[in-house]
Amino acid sequence: MVGSTTVNTVWDTKTQTFHGGQEHRFLNNFIEDFSVTTNYLGTPAGALEAAKEAIHDIHHYPAANQEPAKTSLAEFLWPNGDHQQHHGRLLMGNGASELIDLVVRQCLKNQAQGKGFDYQPTWKGSPWNVQYQEYQRSAATNGFKILEPSNPDRVDMLCIVNPCNPTGDYFSVEPLKAWIKANIATGGTVIVDESMQPWHSADFRNDSLISEHDFAKEMWDEQKVSIHVMHSWTKIWSCTGLRIGSVICPTADHCEALKKIQVPWSVNGPALKFVEAVVQDQAYLDETWENTTRLRAHLVDRLLALHPEWVIHGKSFLSWVWIDMGSQALADKAVDLAREAGVPVRSGTPGYKCLSFVRVAVRKEAEVDVLISAWKSL
Ligand SMILES: Cc1ncc(COP(=O)(O)O)c(C=O)c1O
């Protein structure tokens, strides 16, 4: 219990979308949160210290231009000397969630200006059966017509989470570009959410749209299609409570249009200091790349030793597994048992409507032992 809130009432289901990461507050025996896709390493220590230190400055407003954090982030995204060239296309936000809302609203405005206020613009997500839901929620509440993933029509707004949370599907860069070209209408807006892509490897930038400047330019120059690359930084750097996201726009003009509708100071002082410090922490990322795949393989082995018939989805480099347990009854029981043991997992039912699925984060062996013990009776 927190005040009068319980785990069943923490979300206002009439107005909000279910998300993992709330149950730990309500568990007296909490051990580890397997319900969110954050980095198993936890928050990087140096950056956490920098954020703590910045608390002493909260009597001042944060920098109105997000500097020097934004430049630090630009240097991280484009370390080969061309960050100055792209800096004007980068905007930070209070988590990716804020920026998703901004880009959706801007797209709506552009469509109304081009086609009139009576026109209902269309929206489509990734080709995979489900994806992180905030994109669809934001599009639906803003009045877009939502098309099924299987609908072949070109749409006014295309949003793909790549790698896809929760299914773990992934397009490398060339198939991704081909899919965008085949599904977006002239004058449309695209968001590619690459929040989980930095797990790919030390070479992640080379399989990412962050390096595809010519593609973004060509799509804009030739078809007036605006490609946006979205990042939630709260997962790879395990700081969901701090709220840090960014979007790379096709041009500096697009970025300015978003800034116009963004609330001032949306990224707070400690979050800006955190970013400045965290991008310097190469050891943290090296450790992430070195161990996540191994720990994920370990988790998969332990799960399949329990239930060889379970089907485990997702690329091997990712920070979670998406498990099809074969029946809703089994998945529900697994969710309950994990919660009771203090190691909550994400049910596939709320929001995703994948009734026999459960999402489990990659965590260290000792914590996985607790989860597996909890599931022995399944
Ligand atoms: C793929 C993806 N994008 C964006 C977000 C939103 O992240 P935040 O607002 O915490 O930055 C999430 C959160 O779960 C996510 O999974």
The reply to whether 257 and 300 lie within a common domain is no
Atom in ligand 1 nearest the alpha carbon of residue 93? 11
Q: How many whole angstroms separate alpha carbon 223 and alpha carbon 362?
A: 41
52 inside domain: no
Query: 213 C-alpha vs ligand 1 centroid, how far in Å?
Result: 24
Query: 135 C-alpha vs ligand 1 centroid, how far in Å?
Result: 10
Contacting residues for 33 by C-beta, under 8 A, at least 6 apart: 20, 21, 23, 24, 343, 344, 361
Q: Which residues pair with 322 in a beta bridge?
A: 313, 359
The reply to whether 262 and 167 lie within a common domain is yes
Query: 195 C-alpha vs ligand 1 centroid, how far in Å?
Result: 7
Query: 279 C-alpha vs ligand 1 centroid, how far in Å?
Result: 19
Query: 306 C-alpha vs ligand 1 centroid, how far in Å?
Result: 31
The reply to whether 299 and 216 lie within a common domain is no
Atom in ligand 1 nearest the alpha carbon of residue 232? 11
The reply to whether 87 and 231 lie within a common domain is yes
What is the span of the domain harbouring residue 132? 63-278
Q: Indicate the helix (H) or strand (E) that contains 331.
A: helix 328-340
Atom in ligand 1 nearest the alpha carbon of residue 97? 9
| Backbone torsions φ then ψ of 62, nearest 5 degrees | -70, 165
84 inside domain: yes
Query: What are 225-256's pLDDT values in tens digits?
Result: 999 999 999 999 999 999 999 999 999 999 99
The reply to whether 368 and 269 lie within a common domain is no
Q: E strands, 219-343, where?
A: 226-232, 245-248, 311-313, 320-324
The reply to whether 271 and 319 lie within a common domain is no
All residue ranges of the chain with pLDDT < 70 are 1-11, 13, 15-21
With beta carbons less than 8 A apart as the criterion, state whether 362 and 344 touch.
no
168 inside domain: yes
The reply to whether 92 and 173 lie within a common domain is yes
Domain boundary, last residue among 263, 278, 293: 278
Q: How many whole angstroms separate alpha carbon 155 and alpha carbon 188?
A: 7
Atom in ligand 1 nearest the alpha carbon of residue 96? 11
Query: 231 C-alpha vs ligand 1 centroid, how far in Å?
Result: 8
54 inside domain: no
Atom in ligand 1 nearest the alpha carbon of residue 19? 14
Domain boundary, last residue among 233, 249, 278: 278
14 inside domain: no
8 inside domain: no
The reply to whether 271 and 359 lie within a common domain is no
Count of CB atoms within 10 A of residue 8's CB? 8
Instruction: Indicate which residue's Cα is closest to atom 15 of ligand 1.
Output: 132
The reply to whether 247 and 292 lie within a common domain is no
Domain boundary, last residue among 228, 259, 278: 278
Pull the structure tokens for residue 44.
Answer: 């990087």
4 inside domain: no
If one residue of 232, 237, 322 were mutated to test the ligand 1 pocket, choosing by the most ligand atoms within 8 A of its CB, it would be 232
The reply to whether 214 and 253 lie within a common domain is yes
Query: 192 C-alpha vs ligand 1 centroid, how far in Å?
Result: 12
User: What CATH number corresponds to the domain at position 176?
Assistant: 3.40.640.10
- Is 142 strand, coil or helix? coil
What is the bridge-based pairing of β-strands 90-93 and 245-248? antiparallel
340 inside domain: yes
The reply to whether 259 and 329 lie within a common domain is no
User: What CATH number corresponds to the domain at position 316?
Assistant: 3.90.1150.10
Residue 313, pLDDT score: 98
Q: How many whole angstroms separate alpha carbon 139 and alpha carbon 8?
A: 26
With beta carbons less than 8 A apart as the criterion, state whether 323 and 302 touch.
no
Ligand 1 pocket (Cβ < 6 Å) reads 95-97, 132, 161, 165, 193, 195, 232, 234, 240, 245
> Domain total for the chain?
2
Sheet holding 346-347, edge to edge: 311-313, 320-324, 357-361, 346-347
The reply to whether 229 and 346 lie within a common domain is no
